[in-house]
């Protein structure tokens, strides 16, 4: 109960912040909220099950592009609903074709998915509609976007917390450890994975949709930037992908670092990020939070 109260209080405080923030600071806040939402939504499926999804930007970009295509013909809430439905449909397609099989097929499929969607949209725009690039004119301020993004991040974390306490959460953790045992315990593997993956991907699609008005001008090369997939995975891993607050703990510092690197080293920052990624995999395979627990356990033992 106390934890819930602290979390809610924190959320309220974060919701008030933009009233005092400058335009630049608000931009940073939106970025942070975006990546907290992305990393938490990613970890909702991949963190528990060890099925590494490399397709974050495929869903994120799809969400953004849905808004770009529909923003002039439908009211905003309806556009968001469409984005969510399209994202869920895509996730079902990917999940149904790969999640019955071993994890490697899922990884491979998601690895190329963003590129596939990008090429398909490019092909469609160039050869059918004859345009490449669209404008988003929505009457939304930066503050509106921040609040929406904050709400999405809260939903992603809240949903994870809730799932952790349900049968679904127990089933997902069992699948992450040993699928054979999970199945012999009566868990329907494919359905369990499919539900979690679809939830995760739908949230990611919505993040893309909510973030899109910031761009104003949208084209496939911009919204399907592979760095988004990459950052999401490294953030969740750094904090601890199987922890409730892990993705948040990883996302905030890494987003700031990414901002700083991309401003000061615009050409070489992917190299730094790649090296950092490898370092995380080697040094903190279970994330910072698990590392802290280990330290605490060690000192606790020494204290006695």
Partner 1 sequence: MTLLHVDTVSRFFGGLKAVDQVSFEMESGTIMGLLGPNGSGKTTLLNLISGFLAPSSGRIIFNGRNLAGARVDKIARAGIARTFQLVRILPSLTLLENVMLPAVFGHRAHWGKEAERIAREALEKTGLADRAGASAGDLNYIDQKRLELARALAAEPELLLLDEWLAGLNPTELQEGIKLIESLSGSGITIIMVEHIMEAVRALCPRCAVMNAGRLIADGETSAVLSNKAVIAAYLGDAEDA
Partner 2 sequence: MTTLVLGLVLGGTYALLALGLTLQYGIARIMNLAYGEVTLLAAFGLVFLFQTAGLPPLVAIILIAPAGYLTGWLLYTFMMRPLVQRATGKPGKLEVDSILATFGLLFVLQGIMLVLFGANFTSISYLDQGVNVLGVSVALNRLIAFAICLVAGLGLIVLLNWSRWGLILRAVALTPGSAPLVGIDVNKVSRQGFALGTALAAVGGASIAMYQTFSANDGVIFTMKALIIVIMGGVGNVAGALAAGFALGLVETFVATTFDPGLTLAATFAIFLAVLIWRPQGLFGRRS
Question: Under the rule (CB under 8 A), what is the footprint of partner 1?
Answer: 167, 170-171, 173-174, 176-178, 180-189, 242
Nearest residue (CB) to partner 1, 182 versus 248: 182
Rounded Cα gap, residues 81 and 170, in angstroms: 29
Q: Which stretch binds partner 2 (CB under 8 A): 10-18, 81-89, 123-131, 189-197?
A: 123-131
Question: How many residues line the site for partner 2 (CB under 8 A)?
Answer: 43
Nearest residue (CB) to partner 1, 77 versus 186: 186
The partner in contact with residue 106, picked from partner 1, partner 2, none with C-beta cut-offs of 5 to 8 angstroms by kind, is: none
The partner in contact with residue 187, picked from partner 2, partner 1, none with C-beta cut-offs of 5 to 8 angstroms by kind, is: partner 1
Nearest residue (CB) to partner 1, 25 versus 191: 191
Pinpoint the alpha helices (H) of the chain.
2-16, 23-49, 56-70, 76-98, 103-124, 142-164, 167-177, 179-184, 189-211, 220-223, 227-239, 246-264, 269-283, 288-303
Does position 105 interact with partner 2 (CB under 8 A)? The reply is: yes
Rounded Cα gap, residues 169 and 161, in angstroms: 9
The partner in contact with residue 136, picked from partner 2, partner 1, none with C-beta cut-offs of 5 to 8 angstroms by kind, is: none
Nearest residue (CB) to partner 2, 111 versus 245: 111
Residue 126: phi and psi, rounded to 5, are -70, -45
Closest Cα partner for 196 from 229, 169, 235? 169
Total residues belonging to the chain: 304
Residues 75 to 94 in contact with partner 2, rule: CB under 8 A: none
The partner in contact with residue 237, picked from partner 1, partner 2, none with C-beta cut-offs of 5 to 8 angstroms by kind, is: partner 2
Closest Cα partner for 197 from 83, 279, 94, 63? 94
Q: Which stretch binds partner 2 (CB under 8 A): 31-39, 138-146, 255-263, 270-278?
A: 270-278
263 Cβ neighbours under 8 A, 6+ residues apart = none
The partner in contact with residue 32, picked from partner 2, partner 1, none with C-beta cut-offs of 5 to 8 angstroms by kind, is: none
Rounded to a whole number of angstroms, the minimum distance from the CB of residue 168 to partner 1 is 11
CA angle at 263 for the pair 61 and 251, rounded to the nearest 5°? 55
Rounded Cα gap, residues 299 and 280, in angstroms: 23
Closest Cα partner for 193 from 99, 73, 121? 99
Residues at the contact surface with partner 2, assessed by CB under 8 A: 50, 52, 54, 97-98, 101, 103-105, 107-109, 111-112, 115-116, 119-120, 122-123, 126-127, 226, 230, 233-234, 237, 267-278, 280-282, 285
């Amino acid at each position: 109960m106390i934890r819930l109260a602290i979390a809610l209080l924190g959320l309220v405080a974060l919701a008030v912040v933009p009233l005092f923030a400058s335009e630049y600071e608000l931009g940073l806040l939106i970025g942070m909220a975006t990546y907290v939402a992305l990393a938490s939504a990613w970890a909702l499926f991949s963190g528990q099950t060890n099925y590494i999804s490399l397709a974050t930007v495929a869903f994120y970009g799809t969400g953004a592009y849905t808004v770009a295509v529909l923003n002039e013909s439908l009211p905003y809430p309806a556009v968001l609903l469409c984005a969510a439905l399209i994202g869920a449909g895509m996730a079902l397609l990917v999940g149904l074709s790969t999640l019955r099989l071993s994890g490697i097929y899922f990884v491979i499929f998601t690895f190329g998915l963003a590129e596939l969607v990008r090429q398909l949209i490019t092909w469609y725009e160039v050869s059918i509609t004859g345009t490449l690039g669209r404008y988003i004119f929505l009457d939304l301020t930066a503050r509106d976007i921040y609040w929406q993004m904050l709400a999405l991040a809260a939903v992603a974390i809240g949903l994870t917390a809730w799932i952790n306490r349900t049968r679904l959460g127990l089933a997902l953790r069992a699948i992450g450890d040993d699928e054979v045992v999970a199945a012999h315990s009566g868990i329907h593997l494919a359905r369990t994975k499919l539900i979690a993956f679809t939830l995760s991907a739908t949230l990611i699609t919505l993040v893309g949709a909510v973030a899109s008005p910031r761009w104003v001008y949208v084209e496939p090369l911009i919204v399907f930037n592979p760095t988004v997939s990459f950052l999401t995975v490294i953030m969740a891993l750094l904090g601890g992908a199987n922890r409730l607050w892990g993705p948040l703990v990883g996302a905030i510092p890494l987003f700031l670092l990414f901002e700083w690197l991309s401003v000061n080293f615009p050409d070489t920052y992917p190299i730094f990020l790649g090296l950092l990624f490898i370092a995380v995999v080697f040094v903190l395979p279970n994330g910072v939070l698990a590392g802290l627990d280990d330290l605490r356990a060690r000192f606790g033992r020494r204290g006695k």
